[in-house]
Amino acid sequence: MDRAGSIAARFAALSGEPGLVRLDGIHPLKHALRFGGVVELAVSPAKAALLDLARELCPDLEDRLRDLVLEVPPSLFAALGPPPPSPVLAIARRPAIELSSLLTSEGTAPLLLLDRPVHAGNLGAVVRVAAALEAAGVIVLGGVDPWSPVALRGAAGLQFALPVVRLERLPGPIRRPLVALHPEGPPLGVEPLPAGALLAFGTERHGLDPALRARADAVRAIPMRPGVSSLNLATAVAIVLWEARRLLPSSTRAG
Ligand SMILES: C[S@@+](CC[C@H](N)C(=O)[O-])C[C@H]1O[C@@H](n2cnc3c(N)ncnc32)[C@H](O)[C@@H]1O
C-alpha cells in the first residue's frame, strides 16, 4: 500500500479501534500535545498555513507541529472525513484510566458524574470546564462517548488533561461523598461542599436518575429566578465547580 493509501486506511479503521481517537482541527491536537497525549499521526493539506496558525494560537507547539504533521494532498485530506475547523486531522491514543483510584477520594478536588447525557457537544463543554477548574475527572454514564470527535471538539481536546471515562453503570463502592445536583433542593453556597465529592448531574431532558438521587449524601440546587426551570448541563457544572473551588484553599486544590 502506498503512503496515501495507508493514511486513508488508518483513518477509515478508527471506528473499530476503541483505543484510538480522531482529533479534528488544531485545538484538540494542541491540548493532546500539551497534556501528554500520544499522537500517532497528524496530517494537513496546508502545513504552512497550519504553522502560521500555530504561531498565533499556540507558539509553544510550533516546532513540535513542524516535526509531527505530514503534508498530504488536499484530495486525500478531503477523503478522510468531514472537513475540520482548521487544516489538520490527527489520530491519538486514548489514555488508559485507573477507575478504582478515581473513585477513591484522596484529594479535595471534586469528581464529576454525568448521568446519561445526550448531547456530545454539551459533554465536551463539561469536560472543558472540568479541566479548567481542576476537577479530578469526569465519569459519563450511558451511551454517549465523551471521546467522540464531536465531544473532543466541544472540549477542545481537554479530555487529555484529566481522566474522562464512560461506564454503563456506576460500580458499587464509591469512597467519595455523593452530592446530587438538582434544581430543587438546599441551595448551593450556604454549606460548603464536602471535599473530594462525587458531583452527580442529570441528563439534559429528564434530570438525575431518582435512584442515584436517593443514594446521594446531599442534594444541592443552584438558586434561579422564579419561572426558570433549569440551567444547561454545562452551565450548571461550571457554577458548581466554581463554587467548590472557591471554598478550597489554593494549596489543597489539586488531587
Ligand atoms: C438541563 S438540566 C435537567 C433538567 C431536568 N428537566 C430536571 O428537572 O432536572 C441537566 C442537569 O443540570 C443540573 N442542573 C440544572 N439546573 C440546575 C440547578 N438550578 N440546580 C442544580 N442543578 C441544576 C442538574 O443536575 C440537571 O439534572
Calculate how far, in angstroms, residue 201's C-alpha sits from the geometric centre of ligand 1: 7
Instruction: Determine if ligand 1 sits within 6 Å of the CB of residue 243.
Output: no
Q: Which of 49-53, 59-63, 102-106, 207-211 has the lowest mean pLDDT?
A: 102-106
Distance CA 170, CA 179 (A): 14
pLDDT at 251 (0 to 100) = 45
pLDDT digits (tens, 9 = 90+) for 159-199: 999 999 999 988 877 889 999 999 999 999 898 899 999 99
The amino acid that residue 101 corresponds to is S
Residues of the chain with CATH 3.40.1280.10: 99-252
Instruction: Determine if ligand 1 sits within 6 Å of the CB of residue 208.
Output: yes
Architecture of 3-93 per CATH? 2-Layer Sandwich (3.30)
The residue whose C-alpha atom lies closest to atom 15 belonging to ligand 1 is 231
Which residues, 6+ apart, have CB-to-CB distance to 241 below 8 Å?
110, 112, 129, 130, 133, 135, 199
Mean pLDDT value of segment 56-84: 97
Provide the percentage of residues in the chain whose pLDDT is more than 90: 81
Q: What is the pTM of this model?
A: 0.93
* Residue keyed to cell 509553544: 60
Q: Which of 44-53, 151-160, 204-213 has the lowest mean pLDDT?
A: 204-213
Instruction: Determine if ligand 1 sits within 6 Å of the CB of residue 118.
Output: no
Q: Please give the mean pLDDT across all residues of the chain.
A: 93
What is the grid cell recorded at 1? 500500500
Residues of the chain with CATH 3.30.1330.30: 3-93
pLDDT at 121 (0 to 100) = 94
Q: Radius of gyration (Cα) for the chain, nearest Å? A: 20
- CATH code given to domain 99-252: 3.40.1280.10
Closest CA to 198 of 223, 216, 183: 216
Q: Which of 231, 239, 242, 243 has most ligand 1 atoms within 8 Å of CB, for mutation? A: 231
